[in-house]
A and B are shown apart, each in its own frame.
Chain A
Amino acid sequence: MHGRLKVKTTAQQEEAKRKEREQKLKLYTAATSGAFKKRLNGEFDEEGLKLTGEILSVNPDFYSLWNYRKEIFLFMKDNKETEFVQKLMQDELGFLESCLKVNPKSYGAWHHRSFILENMPLPDWERELQLCNTFLEYDERNFHCWDYRRFVVLTSDVDLEQELAYTTEKIQTNFSNYSSWHYRSKLLPVIFPDPTHPVRVQEDILLQEHETVQNAIFTDPDDQSAWFYHRWLLGRGRKKLQISCVHASRKTNQILVLLTNYIQVNHGHQLSVNINSSPVTGEWRNVTGTNSYSIIWILTVKDGFPGGEDLSIGVTLLTESDCTQFSQGLQLAEGQDEAWTMASYKAGTRFSIELSAAASSTMEKELEAIQELHSVEPENKWVLLTLLYLMKAIDPVHEKYQDDITEAIEKLTAVDSKRKAFYRDLKSKFMMEKILDVQDVNTRDMTLSGLDLTSLCHTEWMVLVQELDVSQNHLTSLKPLGNLPCLVVLIANNNDIDSVEGLQHCKQLKKLHLQKNALRTVQAFSTLSSLPLEDVNVSGNPLCNIENYTEALKAILPTLAPS
């Protein structure tokens, strides 16, 4: 089905071909029905192997026939002498090898081979490893063969450092070695494990790996596999599960909790609250009102917060698998409408785990090397993108590299224009990370206008924000603002927004300005009908061409103030 060129033929050639195929088909159909007939009759013999062999050598994806063959081998195993079975299975391996030579990517053939190895009296695993070497010589990217190799390695306990050396050899002799780099990424955490490290590999090994990758990159700056692998080495892993923010509001009778990772309450994790040492009952819900995995959880306090006294609120997060707990306390004074506590993060660590000193200096050296490469290959997008990631890793809040970052992104957009949307989103992400990293954690008013933003990210960190201005950007969606349950004012003029999807979760939204966007229907606003909206401005949208759109809007949004 793949890679078959359509070739123009004459009528005479067509006819000859048709006749040939008719004949082929006759034999094929006869063999197939013969094989199925024998199988139904319970005949598990060498004739069955012969018949199915004829078919499978031209059509190795005919899975039911491999199954019949397996039944024959199992029957032989149960009923014949071990020596006979061994010889038969050896022959099968020979048969399989010829099948694989013709069709090295047949799932059925490779699986059948593992079946034979698993059932053979005396399997020769060394020979199987050699077979893999041979097939990987033909095609270093044959994932069936790599998977089979891993099966052989696992089952026969091949030394993993030997396997690592194999990948090193492959990488040094060949281009197009994505499969080898990939295999390395699997071997390193097993041979040199460090479960505390974000990449799960011992740091000193990783630093060596940086050198190995660098060699590859410098030998051929267009070898994309090495660049993908390099990106992995720069990865900084996941945060520990903790409570980042607790917010309590007498107005909404809710306690809101922002975590550092996604959980599902009552499914692997528990969230519990007590107020002045009394446990609080209630259902935890995410911002959309369901209990699916979320990073923000909200509890509506049944019967409301107790009045007439200062409240000491305690929230505890329990991880069921290891019974670890994380607690956060919050004081809500008698006259206070709302209170919150938001965790502080050292600058540059909120979105990435800090680099170790060794890693830091390695990054700096690498940045120098890649900058050198950049001067020789100014249009190479892999170089530019890697420069970006390195600079961001070293300087998360853009103190030193802001201009270089901006320049790299502009260049990338120019030399790799097919992916300009990706680069623009990346720029937006870097921008938002910088802003969120630097601003006071207790900020409730944010202005993100005129920043060339194409997307909003990390919005869970804006969970306390009441007023937000994202005007004069290139946003098309407001969906990420569903993470802002405290939002009262949203100014989003001059964007490319074509939907209000997401805002229905901003249950306190009163003022919504969406002038000069791409909204086409009034109907789209029906999802916002239960919000306390008083001031909505949609002038300059395509929907303004609809007759009486203001009346239509007022009909959908009952709380709108009379104009």
Chain B
Amino acid sequence: MGTPVKDIVIPDNAQKTLLLQKHADYIAAYGAKKDDYEYCITEYLRMSGMYWGLTAMDLMKQVDRMNKEEVLRFIQQCQHECGGVSASIGHDPHLLYTLSAIQILTMYDALDMVNTEKVVEFVVSLQQEDGSFYGDKWGEVDTRFSFCAIACLALLNKLNAIDVDRAVEFVLTCMNFDGGFGCRPGSETHSGQVYCCVGMLAITGRLHHVNADLLGWWLCERQLPSGGLNGRPEKLPDVCYSWWVLASLKIIGKLHWIDKDKLIQFILASQDEETGGFADRPGDMVDPFHTLFGIAGLSLLGEERIKPVNPVFCMSEEVIQRAGIRVELL
């Protein structure tokens, strides 16, 4: 009797120390080869890819190694007439990439590189009657976009441009029996969506709607015997959940409910000592996405060589404070 627990086993020879310099070198070199296959086919998320790399470098205190001018020029070319920003030049504007662009510009203290008023207009135009947000004019609704909209406006200090009450109301209709949140009303709870909704509620000062005990329990149950965290029940552990789950726990005041040492062990084991960078789990291929979330997760767990990270925005606390943004956590 008994369903076996889906998990991985950390190999004995797994990496046990943080190879910070190797990760910085990996990110610094990433994207240098503009004709790399992997790099090219991920052009559709380039703006987010840049945000992942730059934020990782900032957290590792080496962002000066990146080409600031090139980044700013790129962003400028990605803002469209409607105010929205696209993933790359010639691609279509979307809330996801608009947020990534604003995050990068905030880090570089260069918000004047885009027309921020138009950005606000773009975000406002996407809010629907029920408070939800389309990702773009084609009408996909997802609580990820609620987070993108609210976080974007918060960074621009223009939260009140949208109907905050309705936006909150919509997110609450996505709350489930387990205290968590899904993409849309009726959708199953998923750690990524939990992070988006909890982050959004934190920014709007409505965390009292969250049942912290219930959700915190669901979140701490993401931790598997290997020490890694999964995204929802009966899924494999993945380093990116070291961010989505951990940041959510931090926001609701229950970070101490997971076993810190075991999680650190899992994250460190997911490093690639050859190439630098983090993969989703030990033995897999690395990428900038998992590298950022591995670094950010370690920061939340207290790694002193990494800058403190803000659990709502996934940007260094230093940048968030400098921007004058204060979000109360539970």
Contacts and interface: CB of A to CB of B under 8 A. Distances in A.
Interface of A: 1-6, 21-22, 24-25, 28-29, 36, 58-59, 61-64, 66-67, 70, 107, 111, 115, 141, 143, 146-147, 150, 175-176, 178-179, 182-183, 185-186, 220-225, 228-229, 231-232, 235, 262, 292-293, 295, 417-419, 421-422, 425-426, 429, 476
A2 B280 contact: yes
Nearest to A111: B140
Given A228-B218, A292-B205, A418-B259, 7 more contacts: A3-B284, A25-B41, A58-B41, A143-B182, A150-B186, A176-B3, A421-B257
B2 A147 contact: no
Contacts of A146: 187-188
A229 B138 contact: no
Contacts of B233: 178, 224-225, 228
A183 B184 CA distance: 13
In the complex, the 3 A-B pairs of residues with the closest C-beta atoms, listed nearest first: A185-B177, A418-B259, A262-B208
A6 B178 contact: no
17 contacts: A5-B285, A25-B40, A63-B91, A64-B86, A143-B183, A147-B187, A150-B186, A176-B234, A178-B188, A178-B234, A182-B176, A182-B177, A183-B186, A221-B2, A418-B223, A418-B258, A419-B258
A220 B3 contact: yes
Interface string B242-281: 0000000000001011110010000000001000000110
Nearest to B184: A147
Interface in B1-35: 1-3, 5, 35
B9 to A, nearest CB: 15
A24 B40 CA distance: 11
Contacts of A25: 35, 37, 40-41
Contacts of B189: 182
B257 to A, nearest CB: 4
Most buried by B among A66, A221, A229, A292: A292
Nearest to A261: B208
Classify the secondary structure of A's interface with B: helix
Most buried by B among A107, A224, A228, A295: A228
Contacts of B182: 143, 147
A48 to B, nearest CB: 15
Given A5-B284, A61-B44, A143-B182, A179 B138 contact: no
B232 to A, nearest CB: 7
Contact of B234 (A36, A186, A225): A225
Interface string B64-106: 0000000000000000000000110011101000000000000
B328 interface: yes
Contacts of B183: 143, 147
B208 A293 contact: yes
B177 A5 contact: no
B58 interface: no
A3 B92 CA distance: 28
A220 B138 contact: no
B2 A222 contact: yes
B283 interface: yes
Contacts of B232: 141, 178
B138 A115 contact: yes
Given A24-B37, A28-B40, A175-B3, A143 B188 contact: yes
A6 B279 contact: yes
Contacts of A429: 213
Contacts of A183: 186, 188
A151 B328 CA distance: 36
A176 B2 CA distance: 12
A3 B224 CA distance: 17
A463 B80 CA distance: 54
A29 B40 contact: yes
Contact of A59 (B44, B94, B227, B257): B44
B175 to A, nearest CB: 11
A195 B328 CA distance: 33
Contacts of A224: 221, 233-234
A232 B213 CA distance: 13
B307 interface: no
B280 A421 contact: no
A306 B213 CA distance: 44
B287 to A, nearest CB: 5
Interface string B89-130: 011101000000000000000000000000000000000000
Contacts of A293: 205-206, 208
B190 interface: yes
B196 to A, nearest CB: 14
